A and B are shown apart, each in its own frame.
Chain A
């Protein structure tokens, strides 16, 4: 006999409102249904009522973790429509911000996962290092969350103290190489909780449209930074970690390896960043046209579409966030798993409900 267990929209394992109802036979999950939309703010509607300068601030508030990637994607879509060239130094600064944001996001996720696994000490250690990334973001931009770094045609602020950024990147790289990866891959408790749990097959990842670390953990070799290179990503070397088991452990490993790659990218950016301007001047409108822009956010591909009629107000702004693509695949991941593993499986997606609902 099966029974249904509702979880959410408010639950101790979920930081944001979201609901999943699972159907169980004994301890085993045999089906599920998901509900989102509790945070719906109508951001796409609002974006079409404001001018593009106001929209930069609006879209930065799509997400509290990857705020920078949204303002950057919005600006880069307009730059594509208007064929606006961003000075090379501005491109490198955007990359440093994007990779610091990836470090912040992945470390936050690793800390939350460690806590859900029951590894409190690791959670404390990871959050201590995440704090140094937050401090670095603040030292560059003046802000800890919404950095206000992006403008159409470049960035608002230069990096004043590259040595400090480099020191933090090396510290995180060292921690990840010598503590995080060995702990996450060899600790018996971690392996027992993560290995073979919440499997998303490659086929399911394709049909559900999974992106980012979730897709890469299921054997899909994808990364927009490499496949459709933007900014100066084609001028730096980095690897795209891919795992094939599709389980929680694979998602853990992919994100841990990505932390190392982000550190390497930051180091190369700081080394190769030329002197010069950081933006293309004051731009308040772009030519008429439309474009899609895809950017590799910490949680995966962000899809932006903007249509412009040449005025300062966009005709249409569409935002497809990575969590929107990934959360739906939880239905495929939980099937056949124990109910007790449900919070960890959900967390392994690194879901953001604020992004999803917009």
Chain B
């Protein structure tokens, strides 16, 4: 499939930006999006978290034929995000890193060990202020 067919496979209203196509979805629909992306043979790229409006915006990125397809969900504090590592094993490290950096909790995984931090470190390192200890 090409990027246009992949967007149709996922559905929804996509917005074109200079860096690719973006789609806003509720977080609970991300596993369905991942399954549609896999049917389209989309290569998993990464997960990105960014503080936004008293919460976080988490986005999942895929590549189809060189076109970046990004799917973003807004999370309020304490919200759980479904894992997609069953569909895309490459998302395992990205999810663990997102937990390390922004304390995002992914559900549907056997566990979420630290990736960059040491065992026992408090997650959310990018939320720390200067001089604050983990």
Residues of A within 8 A of B (CB): 36-37, 40, 42, 44-45, 48-49, 80, 205-211, 215, 220, 222-224, 226-228, 290-294, 301, 303, 305, 307, 315-316, 318, 320, 324-325, 328-329, 331-332, 357-358
Residues of B within 8 A of A (CB): 17-20, 38, 41-46, 48, 50-51, 61, 63, 65-68, 70, 87-94, 101, 114-118, 125-126, 128, 130
CA A290 to CA B94, docked complex, whole Å: 21
CB distance from B34 to the nearest CB of A (A): 10
Q: Smallest CB-CB separation from A34: which chain B residue?
A: B93
Q: Smallest CB-CB separation from A40: which chain B residue?
A: B116
Additional A-B contact list (17), CB under 8 Å, known A208-B44, A228-B66, A320-B94: A37-B115, A40-B117, A44-B126, A206-B42, A206-B43, A208-B90, A209-B88, A222-B43, A222-B66, A228-B67, A228-B68, A292-B20, A301-B45, A305-B48, A318-B46, A324-B46, A325-B45
Q: A37-B114, A49-B130 are in contact. Are A209 and B43 (CB under 8 A)?
A: yes
Q: Is A291 a contact of B93 with CB atoms below 8 Å? A: no
Dominant secondary structure at the B interface: mixed
Of B43, B50, B87, B128, chain A has the most CB atoms within 10 Å of the CB of B43
CA A52 to CA B67, docked complex, whole Å: 28
CA A309 to CA B130, docked complex, whole Å: 19
Q: Is A320 a contact of B45 with CB atoms below 8 Å? A: yes
Q: Is A303 a contact of B116 with CB atoms below 8 Å? A: no
CB distance from B6 to the nearest CB of A (A): 12
Contact residues in A for B93 (Cβ distance below 8 Å): 36, 324, 328
Q: Is B70 a contact of A37 with CB atoms below 8 Å? A: no
Q: A45-B125, A45-B128, A318-B48 are in contact. Are A206 and B68 (CB under 8 A)?
A: no
Q: Smallest CB-CB separation from B62: which chain A residue?
A: A209
CA A118 to CA B98, docked complex, whole Å: 40
Contact of B115 among A36, A49, A215, A294 (CB under 8 A): A36
Q: Smallest CB-CB separation from A204: which chain B residue?
A: B89
Contact of A293 among B19, B43, B115 (CB under 8 A): B19
CA A40 to CA B130, docked complex, whole Å: 17
CA A48 to CA B101, docked complex, whole Å: 13
**10 A–B contacts, CB within 8 A, in A order:** A37-B118, A40-B116, A207-B38, A207-B87, A208-B89, A208-B90, A220-B43, A303-B45, A315-B51, A320-B94
Q: A206-B41, A357-B116 are in contact. Are A42 and B125 (CB under 8 A)?
A: yes
CA A228 to CA B116, docked complex, whole Å: 31
Of B38, B48, B91, chain A has the most CB atoms within 10 Å of the CB of B48
CA A104 to CA B46, docked complex, whole Å: 27
Q: Is B50 a contact of A307 with CB atoms below 8 Å? A: yes
Q: A207-B89, A357-B116 are in contact. Are A80 and B44 (CB under 8 A)?
A: no
